[in-house]
Amino acid sequence: MKYSVLISRIPLPLLLCLLLLPCHAWSQSRPADVGSGSNAASVTAVAEANSVSADAVSEDAVSGDVVSGDVVSGDVVSSADAAQVAEPLQSVAPATTPIPELPAEGESGGALAPASDASPPLITNDAVLLGLLLAMLGVVFWTSSSPNPRLQTFYKYVPMLLLCYFLPSLLTLFGLVDPHASQLYYVASRYLLPASLVLLTLSVDLREILKLGPKALIMFLTGTLGVILGGPLAILIVGLFAPGLVGGEGPDAVWRGMTTVAGSWIGGGANQAAMKEVFEPSDQIYSVMVTVDVLVAEFWMMFLLLGIGKAKQIDAWFKADASSVTRLQKKMEAFSLKSARIPTVAELFAILAVGFGCTAISHAVADWIAPWIKLNAPYLSALSLDSAFFWLIILATTLGVGLSFTPLRNLEGAGASKLGTVFIFILVATIGLGMDLSAIVTYGGLFIVGLVWMAIHVLLLVVVGYWIRSPFFFLAVGSKANIGGAASAPVIAAAFHPALAPVGVLLAVMGYVLGTYGAWLCGLMMRAIAEPGAG
């Protein structure tokens, strides 16, 4: 009995680390020689699987999908390039072949063989990896909603969203999985991502957002502006003292990685993935920036959560009238009671049909419009309008907002946004797999850039909030509707009162709508500052 009490007092991340360490030690003790014993059989199995993948690529070449026209960027791939794509799928890559951090645009995979100087990962099956990720998400959500006082205290200081990124990264850190070879990010970013945008924007009520009052929208837009301007200003400020921290060339340019942070901080994981495809940072800089994004954002969230306990004092300092928040609380309580219901099977299928139906339409149109622009209006490439992935996100968001004016918006009561949130968190977990925790030491300077950027965002919010006498509720939710999106804004809003959680959702949905546009604009400004001579 006393052992179970002792175990229950161990923090969740530490407990998982203790459980993963034996597996890590076992995987490190496995022979790295892939030509002997059971590893030879593993290589044979990998080769057979890759042969099947190569057949899939050849089928795509026949159908005109992926190989003949890149579904992400709209680039036309030549027969020589197609051979290069298929080649690593037909045989195990040599030890000197670098493995990309994430699947390249339009490819169905990469080489699965580990380097000769590293042990093969313990888990190579994506079905097993997906199960582990969902199990981790399930544990995090279950424990974060538990009435256990110890767990409540733990999550008071360690945000739930941080664990959704952090726990999957442990699998990579301990060498249990190889995110380079996994196809989960590709599936999540191409299929679940646009579907989630449709479902999250399906419930947006523009009239309701306007009724929140000008201060709520002003603080939200101020947060957006703080991110858009903060990126270029951070490059300028840090560049004055340490130009090397914001340098780099080509795909390794720091500004390219910062565009993914802008996408995440204005919208969320969906917009972050969109910026990765649009501005094409290297996998290394992207991995580092994911870590910067999560740790800096959650550092700010901890301050917001602590500030909620001092909300009355902050409102008094701002000389703010919080009565509008009280009225909003009562209104949202009535809204929640009116819309909530147990969904039927027919409604669940309707939600899936809307989400993935709009995803299919978005893919079809994006696969047509991006190559057309590249061929007929190449000058628009400077605005990233020749990227099919860019159009995929824009079209999915637009379709979702358009459907919010139809009776289909009633699917929200059956859980449309909840299912969209599930998709987003799966994407978050796959992004977490590529998070490089060792980058805190190796690339500590980039965290300084992130902190300067966040400081500009916070300073602008405080100045505007004090000027317009905004309640702290609007400042906190407006900030997290940008920085954390639909995963964090409802958490912050519910921390004031559970009935206010939909307010966070409504503003966060606006973040998803503006996220791609704002991050794209921020990226263009950062490119102009970092590379003034670029076309």
pLDDT in tens, the chain (535 residues): 444 444 445 555 555 554 454 454 444 444 444 333 333 333 333 344 444 443 433 333 333 333 333 333 333 334 334 343 333 333 333 333 333 333 333 333 332 333 334 577 888 899 999 999 999 999 999 998 898 989 988 887 777 777 888 899 889 888 888 887 888 988 988 899 889 888 877 877 666 656 667 888 899 999 999 999 999 999 999 888 888 777 777 788 888 889 889 988 887 666 777 788 788 888 888 888 888 887 788 778 778 877 877 788 888 888 888 777 777 667 656 655 677 788 899 999 999 999 999 999 999 999 999 899 889 988 776 555 777 877 887 788 889 888 988 989 888 888 888 898 889 889 888 888 877 677 667 777 888 889 999 999 999 999 999 999 888 999 998 898 888 766 567 667 767 776 566 677 667 767 766 777 788 889 889 888 887 765 5
Question: What is the pLDDT at residue 456?
Answer: 94
| Domains of the chain in sequence order | 126-530 (1.20.1530)
Number of other residues whose CB lies within 10 A of the CB of residue 158: 17
Whole-angstrom distance, CA of residue 523 vs CA of residue 507: 23
**CA nearest to 270, candidates 140, 162, 428:** 428
Whole-angstrom distance, CA of residue 176 vs CA of residue 173: 8
Question: What is the pLDDT at residue 384?
Answer: 59
Token pair, residue 296, equals: 């800096």
Residue 123 phi, psi dihedral angles, 5° rounding: -115, 120
Q: How far apart are the first and last CA of the chain?
A: 69
Positive or negative: CA dihedral 377, 383, 388, 394: negative
Q: Where are the alpha helices (DSSP H) in 319-443?
A: 323-339, 345-376, 388-403, 416-433, 439-442
Token pair, residue 380, equals: 């628009």
Question: What is the pLDDT at residue 416?
Answer: 86
Give, as one character, the DSSP assignment of residue 246: G
Give, as one character, the DSSP assignment of residue 121: P
Question: What is the pLDDT at residue 227?
Answer: 93
Whole-angstrom distance, CA of residue 402 vs CA of residue 82: 38
Question: What is the pLDDT at residue 91?
Answer: 35
Whole-angstrom distance, CA of residue 460 vs CA of residue 223: 8
Question: What is the pLDDT at residue 135?
Answer: 95
Question: What is the pLDDT at residue 50?
Answer: 43
Positive or negative: CA dihedral 174, 178, 179, 183: negative
Cβ atoms of residues 190 and 426 within 8 Å: no
Cβ atoms of residues 239 and 228 within 8 Å: no
Return the H-helix or E-strand segment holding 383: none
Token pair, residue 70, equals: 């890149």
